[in-house]
Amino acid sequence: AQSVTQLDSQVPVFEEAPVELRCNYSSSVSVYLFWYVQYPNQGLQLLLKYLSGSTLVKGINGFEAEFNKSQTSFHLRKPSVHISDTAEYFCAVTINQAGTALIFGKGTTLSVSS
């Protein structure tokens, strides 16, 4: 079975500072990895995905993530955050089989202050 661990439940940062949200996964088979963002009282929006190929993937809103197979990690980064990035961020994994469900981590709350 797959599992996802988001190592930080809350990450407070100041505006324009860099941020890294950490995600580790566990799986005995190949996986696909995703980061989603959830604003208050809204559904989840896909930020970026890793399916194959380059281990550095770029997403929307200036976010990027790096897939590290040896460390089973998929950390999310942004070089300079904005107040509007304040939200809940979820890392998710699914196995290499079409139609299977996403397994989510518990989420990381990113709070950006001025």
Six-digit token pair at 69? Answer: 């197979």
Six-digit token pair at 67? Answer: 């897939």
Which residues ranging from 1 to 20 are in contact with another protein (CB under 8 A)?
4
Contacts of 113 (CB under 8 A, 6+ apart): 12, 13, 14, 15, 83
Taking CB under 8 A as the rule, which mask of x and - marks residues 52-91 in contact with another protein? x-------------------------------------x-
Nearest to 77 by CA among 57, 102, 96, 55: 57
Contacts of 63 (CB under 8 A, 6+ apart): 35, 47, 48, 76, 77, 78
DSSP 35: E
26 binds another protein (CB under 8 A): no
Among 49, 59, 64, 72, the residue binding another protein under the rule CB under 8 A is: 49
Tell me the window of 17-25, 64-72, 79-87, 100-108 that interacts with another protein (CB under 8 A).
100-108
Do residues 15 and 82 make contact, with C-beta atoms less than 8 angstroms apart? yes
Minimum Å distance from CB 83 to another protein?
22
Which residues ranging from 27 to 46 are in contact with another protein (CB under 8 A)?
32, 34, 36, 41-46
Residues that bind another protein (CB under 8 A): 4, 32, 34, 36, 41-46, 49, 51-52, 90, 92, 94, 96, 98-107
